[in-house]
Amino acid sequence: MDLGLNEEHSMGTTIIGVTYNGGVVLGADSRTSTGMYVANRASDKITQLTDNVYVCRSGSAADSQIVSDYVRYFLHQHTIQLGQPATVKVAANLVRLLAYNNK
């Protein structure tokens, strides 16, 4: 019996962002896999950070989720301290710094 264990299989995540005059549309697949095993067919790879900032996650689900949680917390603190919402640039820099400094 051939189980197809030696055949190629996709392990990647598909995420996309498309800009238009009114904003950005984000999309992502919903499958979380561990090698050939599909661990979850309905995972949410688009995570809200603020009212108007979202992040598309890929890679280790646990790692990308904790980075999102930290960034959400820091952006909330930023908004409280400055009295205005954080910009997309601030959010992107926080993600960049957390990812780079915690390789």
Q: Rounded to whole angstroms, what are the CA distances from 91 to 63, 86, 95, 102?
A: 17, 7, 6, 17
How many CB atoms are closer than 10 A to CB 94? 20
Residue 79 C-beta-side C-alpha neighbours within 13 Å: 16
- Catalytic option among 13, 19, 32, 79: 13
Structure tokens, 1: 């019996």
State yes or no: is 13 an active-site residue: yes
> What is the largest distance, in Å, between two alpha-carbon atoms of the chain?
64
Active site residues: 13
